[in-house]
Structure 1
Amino acid sequence: MREKIREFIMYLSVERGLSRAYQNSVQQSLESLAEWAEARQSVLKDLGTDELAQFLAARRDASLASSSQRILVVHLKIFFRYLVSKRSVLADVAEPLIAPKTQGKLPESVSIEVILGMLESIDTTQRLGKRDKAMLELFYASGLRLSELCQLCLEHYDAESALLRVTGKGNKTRLVPVGESAQSALALYLTAERPNLVKAKTRSHIFLSVRGGSLSPERVREVVKLRAAAAGIKENVYPHLLRHCFATHLLENGADLRVIQEMLGHADISTTQIYTHVDQQRLKSIHKSFHPRA
């Protein structure tokens, strides 16, 4: 089974072009299946739908969260679909599996005032202030994922049209507008600070570390938290929260859901629709607070 798992991960990498993070997630799921089967002295051909259901039950009993169980079911389905296509197994025994239902968790968000307060608190005269201001402005202005911001290069930004070419999940490319405040912050950083960070081996990444390399996701998370703390914000602020705020604040101010979907890079509108629930929660809160018969 482990050999088939290695072949499948290679297929996801080479033929499907899926991200390393996704490959690692699938591999972790499938290796947990292999370990479970080996403990039972079972091989691939011994696994049917009943056995896979028993494996899922064991993972559930081990306190695996419902959301993780759903991901595990997806991974099993795509793996066995692949095995059928390669004639490694005769039947798709994972197809009948049913993922557990999960209660949708509403994305976190903070008010526009909190975000603006954090952005305005950054002193651009201080060391790395211009970089950090441009980075946070861009997160909020364009709704970027953390990985997308880290991968941004100079050739991806068209300052004249104020558009970013972003490569997101599944190597899908989209164009994202950059707001005026983010444009100004980027221009200041690119002209007055980035040149000082460039070293001999620096590549074209927009956001650079003090050593001239691209910023790691861990470092960007740290910068966001430090800037939020410096602004006196008590809420937990992290890069993906800024993406949620981008979408939530657009919706609150009347943006079309399809436009938000396009800018976020969601393949399915149902993924974006979770933000309508956030807006509904806000409406209910306002109604309860101000309506005399609420």
Structure 2
Amino acid sequence: MTEVAPLPGRLQHHLDEFTEYLALERGRAAHTVRAYRGDVATLLNHLVASDPDAELVDLDLGTLRSWLSEQSAAGAARTSLSRRASSVRTFTAWAVRTGRLEVDPAIRLSAPPARRTLPAVLRQDHAVQAMDAAESGAREQDPVAMRDRLVVELLYSAGIRVGELCGLDIDDLDLDRRLLRVIGKGDKERSVPFGRPAEEALDLWLRIGRPALAAPRSGRALLLGSRGGRLDQRIARKVVHEVMSAVPDAPDIGPHGLRHSAATHLLEGGADLRVVQELLGHASLATTQLYTHVSVARLRSVHDQAHPRA
């Protein structure tokens, strides 16, 4: 969300320092910082709209509630309201710690809980068909097709985010141990294994595909666009959708759907929840537990269809 109007200098200063705190002290990702800043900016604009002379110390629970109510009336989804309330709680807690507020007005602020829907995931046979479709395209010795095969193989095999994938450098590969060094949210580093099919796709890409596309601007980027620059996330998303379109009856998922599928299939195969948490780079185990709900839902579906006394 963008700042809807210029803020008075006194409030702009608070917003700028909060933004700096998120980026430098908390190590939040750039898109997270932008989202938090936008949320807080709309709140401060709401405060000023109610009283042009308002200071930060005038922020109270009533103002917070009327701000959320205004957001809801404008059509904001429950997930958006929940995120915006969380952004503001972070801001007011920071304001108290830094002496800008004496009392935290957001302690009693409540927002509708976000509905956590079950993500679309591939059946295991669909995943195999998708990887086969990507491999068949790479057999034509087209460097772009080789890259596209590697994109879907790594997203599914390693369960990494699309931003993590496109940020990989050649130096992040440990080929002997089949590991990737991934920089995730909050600039946190983790090592992620990948399977033998992904290893084969990587070998083909490094030997034939990447040299054919490499240009002076390529640097050490692992995955390249058709003009030699680092692969754009939008292209990676397009690649996944195109591959999935070749799989009959499979859901139209993107890179995050492959990540969901990898986690679900790991758990269905007996992987420990905390191991999956580490692989995915989740800060909270509660996030990873969502995939257990997916597995249980699929188990129920199979049971209802197959058991004679279901």
TM-score range, shorter chain: over 0.9
| Equivalent residues of 1:144, 1:243 under 8 A apart | yes
**Which residue number in structure 1 is paired with residue 73 of structure 2?**
61
Q: 2:299 aligns with which of 266, 272, 283?
A: 283
Q: 1:193 aligns with which of 189, 194, 209?
A: 209
**Which residue number in structure 2 is paired with residue 260 of structure 1?**
276
Deviations 1:187-234 (A, max 9, x none): 110111101111112211110011111111111111211222245565
Q: 1:18 aligns with which of 28, 32, 48?
A: 28
Deviations 1:125-147 (A, max 9, x none): 25211111011100000000011
Letter of the 2:34 counterpart: N
**Which residue number in structure 1 is paired with residue 3 of structure 2?**
none
Change in 2 beyond 3 A, CA 1:212/1:233: farther
TM superposition score normalised by structure 1:
0.95
After alignment, is 132-141 or 112-121 more displaced? 112-121
| Equivalent residues of 2:122, 2:250 under 8 A apart | no
CA distance in 1, matches of 2:114, 2:226: 43
**Which residue number in structure 2 is paired with residue 9 of structure 1?**
19
Q: 2:108 aligns with which of 84, 96, 101?
A: 96
**Which residue number in structure 2 is paired with residue 139 of structure 1?**
155
**Which residue number in structure 2 is paired with residue 43 of structure 1?**
55
CA distance in 2, matches of 1:50, 1:40: 11
TM superposition score normalised by structure 2:
0.91
Q: How much identity, in percent, do the aligned residues show?
A: 36
Q: Describe the SS at the equivalent of 1:201.
A: helix
Deviations 1:89-115 (A, max 9, x none): 222111221232233211210111112
Superposition deviation, residue 6 in structure 1: 1.3
Q: Describe the SS at the equivalent of 1:273.
A: helix
Change in 2 beyond 3 A, CA 1:172/1:119: same
| Equivalent residues of 1:118, 1:233 under 8 A apart | no
Give the gaps of 5 or more residues in structure 1. Answer: none
Query: How many pairs does the alignment contain?
Result: 294
| Equivalent residues of 1:84, 1:91 under 8 A apart | yes
CA distance in 1, matches of 2:197, 2:265: 16
Letter of the 1:23 counterpart: V
CA distance in 2, matches of 1:102, 1:19: 22
